[in-house]
């Protein structure tokens, strides 16, 4: 077991949470974008909310076996981002007949981004980021104390 396993696990989590915060900020910035993409029919569509998928970095049978037997031989392996996916929730319809993107009935398709939900997700990602920094600093402090013992 390497002394840097805790650093590697925290670093992977910090990277994943930072990407999550970037995607959330992109969602908030595009909350009113009605012309983001062109679909297969050649029609413009509003911005579609994006989400980050995160999973454990090591999903092997060996890692689960070590965890189940409480073996200390399995070091922390961290997390990895498996992808950024689009939310398939339908777009919101808002009545605004004077909008340039309004249909014949006067409704405009707005992005499926809920700013309140995005802010909650952003707070969650920020807290996770802070917790990983705290874990990283604790690991650093323990290693520094171990080096001081050797003096």
Mean pLDDT, residues 9-26: 95
Share of the chain above pLDDT 70, in %: 90
Q: Across the chain, what does the average pLDDT equal?
A: 88
Provide the pLDDT for residue 63. Answer: 66
CA–CA dist 79, 62 (Å, integer): 16
CA 97 to chain centre: 36
Q: Cα–Cα distances in Å, from 117 out to 21, 64, 129, 147?
A: 13, 33, 18, 45
pLDDT digits (tens, 9 = 90+) for 115-130: 999 999 999 999 999 9
**What is the reported pLDDT for 71?**
57
pTM comes to: 0.81
Supply the DSSP symbol for 89.
Answer: P
Res 1: pLDDT: 57
Count how many residues are written for the chain: 151
List, for residues 34-89, the tens digit of each pLDDT value. 988 888 888 889 999 999 999 988 776 766 676 677 655 555 678 899 999 999 99
Q: Is the backbone of residue 42 left (phi > 0), alpha (psi -120 to 50) or beta?
A: left
**Confidence check: pLDDT of 23 > 90:** yes
């Amino acid at each position: 077991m390497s002394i840097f396993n805790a650093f590697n696990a925290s670093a992977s989590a910090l990277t994943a949470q930072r990407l999550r915060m970037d995607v959330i900020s992109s969602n908030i910035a595009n909350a009113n974008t009605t012309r983001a993409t062109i679909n297969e029919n050649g029609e413009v569509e509003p911005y579609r909310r994006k989400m980050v998928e995160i999973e454990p970095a090591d999903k092997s049978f060996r890692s689960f076996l070590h965890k189940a037997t409480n073996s200390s031989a399995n070091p922390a392996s961290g997390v990895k981002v498996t992808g950024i996916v689009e939310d398939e929730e339908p777009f919101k319809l808002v009545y605004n007949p004077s909008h340039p993107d309004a249909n014949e009935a006067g409704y405009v398709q707005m992005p499926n981004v809920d700013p309140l939900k995005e802010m909650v997700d952003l707070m969650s990602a920020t807290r996770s980021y802070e917790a990983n920094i705290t874990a990283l600093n604790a690991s650093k402090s323990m290693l520094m104390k171990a080096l001081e013992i050797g003096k």
